[in-house]
Amino acid sequence: MAESDLNKNAKAEDNLLRLVIMNPPDKGNEELRSMFTQIPYVWLQAECTKYEFLQEVIANQTAPHIVVVAIDADLEKACNAIERLAQEMPDVGILAISKRDDGQAILKALRAGAKEFLTMPFGVDHLSEILGKLEKAGKIQHSPTLAVNKKKKTLISFLGSRGGVGCTSLSVNIAATLAADPHNKVVLVDLDLTLGDADIALDLMADYTLSDLVENIDKLDMTFLNRSLSKHSTGLALLPHPLNVGDATMITEEHLKRIISLLAACHTHLVLDLSKSLRPTDICALAMSDFIFLVVQLEITSIRNSIRLLSTLDADGKLGPRVKLVLNRVGMVTDITREKAVELLGRPFFWEVPNDHKVMMESRNSGTPMVKSAPVSKIQHNFSDFADAVCSKTKANKGAKSFWHSLFTNNP
């Protein structure tokens, strides 16, 4: 990994809330862990299963902002561990957690030095609120949620109206064009989980794919994530679809939310190449997107499917306004005129991409996005303007929040 990448990653990690969980082995362990890992700005640094070793585990890490201590297994040992920690690291926010609503135990943990107490089960919203409270009260020195909030992230999805309409070509080229700006850090995620080809379009032989991240979802942190991304010479990072076709079904919406949240913590732009089958992961991606680019061609199947897709997306009050029509391959001989298409679709095209078979084929065959293979071509100029339009629209759209955006900014 290049030094500049390491520096960028280090900065991204600075924006995260470092957390250690102290939880003796129990069947509720995963539930507790997943409550925290659902919060996008939380970075689970370590887990400890013995109260006696907590100090040692923490000593081997960069100092955490929060230590969560589950107290039910042994109240006495838990309170001793809290007390030691509170004395040695007074800046660390200690959050005690119990499944029992036992007033005496709560009092004991707070007297030992816990700064907040939570009774399980609790929702992610409530947990975020408690973390926010600890922050506001100045009980945590660092202010990661605020630091992350300042950086605007943009999540863009390309959704096709039929096979071969140009989703991968547009995803790859817009992502590479955005990545060419040194201020941006861009990742392309291939969500066409069975038949995706973004890796071929970028000529990348990936060591890791989405399924490796999902198999290791419980230990997923920024280091693991960054190691799993394939890097293109344009600066674009790629998270490819699983190599094994059968692995596509193991990727759930929850996995995707977790992965997207972590990617968002260290990238300015996330570009998603969706499948055409509207799997649960595609629907989840749509809900997280700031822009949903529905790719259309002036041809009967594409227009008919676009009308059907628009009617479904518009029925969802939150998704509808984020859908923008992109007309691809303008200039090709077509079945329908642009004017007729606009009339049938009931809205104008947000963007129009010219047809350039030669340049596109050369780029696809060489696995080099046009920003490198044909930087002065008409079609690359179009992609640069498209990327600029996305960026200026992002600034103009500051008020419109996607589900993902509100999750990430902790401000629904």
List the single partner that 280 binds among ligand ATP, Mg ion, none, CB under 5 to 8 Å by kind.
none
Q: Identify which of residues 62 and 277 has a Cβ nearer to ligand ATP in the complex.
A: 277
Question: Are 188 and 172 spatial neighbours (Cβ–Cβ below 8 Å)?
Answer: yes
**Residues making up the chain, counted from first to last:** 412
**Residue 171 binds Mg ion (CB under 5 A):** no
- Pattern 344-363, ligand ATP, x by CB under 6 A: ---------x-xxx--xx--
Tokens of 21: 């969980």
Interaction of residue 161 with Mg ion, rule CB under 5 A:
no
The option from ligand ATP, Mg ion, none interacting with 82 (CB < 5 to 8 A, set by class) reads none
Among the listed ranges 44-52, 159-167, 201-209, 221-229, the one in contact with Mg ion (CB under 5 A) is 159-167
């902002």: which residue's tokens?
Answer: 65
Of 164, 321, 346, 412, the one binding ligand ATP by CB under 6 A: 164
Other CB atoms within a 10 A radius of the CB of residue 345 amount to 17
- Locate all alpha helices (DSSP H) within 15-60, ordered by sequence: 29-37, 54-59
Tell which positions 300-339 bind ligand ATP, by CB under 6 A.
Answer: 328-329
Q: Is 166 in the site for ligand ATP (CB under 6 A)?
A: yes
Using CA atoms in the order 301, 307, 308, 310, what is the torsion angle rounded to 10 degrees? 130
Stretch that binds Mg ion, among 138-146, 168-176, 200-208, 250-258 (CB under 5 A): 168-176
Among 364, 368, 373, 402, binds ligand ATP (CB under 6 A): 364
Residue of 160, 161, 191, 157 lying closest to 174 (CA atoms): 157
C-alpha 144/C-alpha 14 separation (Å) is 8
> In 3D, which of 299, 297, 320, 318 has the Cα closest to residue 309?
320
**Residue 324, beta-bridge partner list:** 293
By CB under 6 A, is residue 156 in contact with ligand ATP? Answer: no
Using DSSP's 3-state secondary structure scheme, residue 85 falls into helix
Site for ligand ATP in 272-291 (CB under 6 A): 276
The amino acid occupying position 60 is N
Find out whether 192 and 209 touch, Cβ atoms under 8 Å: no
User: Candidates 120-128, 164-172, 254-262, 277-285 — which segment interacts with ligand ATP by CB under 6 A?
Assistant: 164-172
CB closer to Mg ion out of 19 and 167: 167
Closest separation between CB of residue 168 and ligand ATP, Å?
3
CA dihedral 30, 265, 320, 188 (to 10 degrees): -100
Other CB atoms within 10 A of residue 67 CB: 28
Is residue 168 within the footprint of Mg ion (CB under 5 A)?
yes
Interacting residue ranges for ligand ATP, rule: CB under 6 A: 160, 163-169, 192, 276, 328-329, 353, 355-357, 360-361, 364
Interacting residue ranges for Mg ion, rule: CB under 5 A: 167-168
